[in-house]
Every structure is written in structure tokens, then in C-alpha cells.
């Protein structure tokens, strides 16, 4: 104890070296061990499980995002193809309707030309018939006039 007095420490002071220091060290180690077993390991397990869950969830989410992007590209391509095929069908339908319209116009023109030609032929026939009748009537009238003139002489 005299050596403690030489160092300037008094008994029961701040740096009192006796069995308390090793006892406190043992208590700290035991407390750390008990706390580790009772609190920190279960909490550590839960934290690791959550980290694993988050990691697997992120990996699955990345996979699903990649699948969604791939599906989006596929759907865009399908939509583009559908639009192109729809435009082709519309163009074909317009072409067909234009052809039908032209055919209907040509048929109507042909029918009107045939009807007009038939009417012209009928009119020509009636005209010739009327001219023949007129000629016959004029010859008959001419003969009557000549007869009456001759009879009057």
C-alpha cells in the first residue's frame, strides 16, 4: 500500500487496484455474453432474414421488371404489326371499293349507252317508218291531185 501512496493515489480513490477490476471485467464479459445470447443474436437473425428477404425481393423485382420490359417490347411489336395489317386491310378495302365503284360506273355507262343506242335505233326506225308513210301519203296525195287536175280538164 505504501507504493500506492508513492504514486499519489489514496485508498478508495480513482485508481484503486484490488479485486474489483478483474471482477468488473468478468461482469462486463458475462453481461456481453448474456446480452449477445438473449438480445443480439435473435435481433441479428431477424435483421439477416430481412436482409435476405429484401435481397430476394429485389432480385425477383428486377427479374419481373425485365420480363415486363420484354413483354412491353413484344406488345409494342404486336401492336405495330396489328396496325400495319389493319392499314393494309383498309387499303385493300379502299382499293376493292374503288374497283367496285369503277365497275359500277362502267356498267352504268354501258347500260346507258346500250339504252341510248336502242332508243336511237328505235327512233331511226320510227323515223324511216314515218318517212315511208309520209312518202306513201305524199304519193297518194300527189296522185289524187293529178287525178283531180286531170278530171277537171
Domain hosting 21: range is 2-152
Residue by residue, pLDDT tens for the chain (153 residues) are 444 444 454 555 566 667 777 888 899 999 999 988 888 888 889 999 999 999 999 999 999 999 999 999 999 999 999 999 999 999 999 999 999 999 999 999 999 999 999 999 999 999 999 999 988 888 888 888 888 888 877
pTM listed for this prediction: 0.46
What SS3 class is residue 153? coil
DSSP 98-128: HHHHHHHHHHHHHHHHHHHHHHHHHHHHHHH
The count of domains in the chain is: 1
Amino acid at each position: 500500500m505504501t507504493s500506492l501512496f508513492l504514486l499519489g493515489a489514496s485508498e478508495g480513490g480513482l485508481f484503486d487496484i484490488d479485486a474489483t477490476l478483474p471482477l468488473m471485467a468478468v461482469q462486463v464479459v458475462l453481461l456481453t455474453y448474456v446480452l449477445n445470447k438473449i438480445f443480439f443474436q435473435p435481433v441479428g437473425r431477424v435483421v439477416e432474414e430481412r436482409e435476405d428477404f429484401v435481397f430476394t425481393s429485389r432480385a425477383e423485382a428486377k427479374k419481373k421488371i425485365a420480363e415486363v420490359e420484354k413483354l412491353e417490347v413484344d406488345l409494342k411489336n404486336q401492336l405495330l404489326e396489328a396496325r400495319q395489317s389493319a392499314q393494309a386491310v383498309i387499303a385493300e378495302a379502299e382499293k376493292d371499293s374503288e374497283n367496285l365503284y369503277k365497275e359500277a360506273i362502267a356498267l352504268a355507262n354501258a347500260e346507258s349507252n346500250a339504252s341510248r343506242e336502242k332508243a336511237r335505233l328505235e327512233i331511226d326506225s320510227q323515223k324511216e317508218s314515218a318517212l315511208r308513210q309520209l312518202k306513201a301519203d305524199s304519193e297518194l296525195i300527189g296522185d289524187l291531185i293529178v287525178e283531180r287536175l286531170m278530171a277537171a280538164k
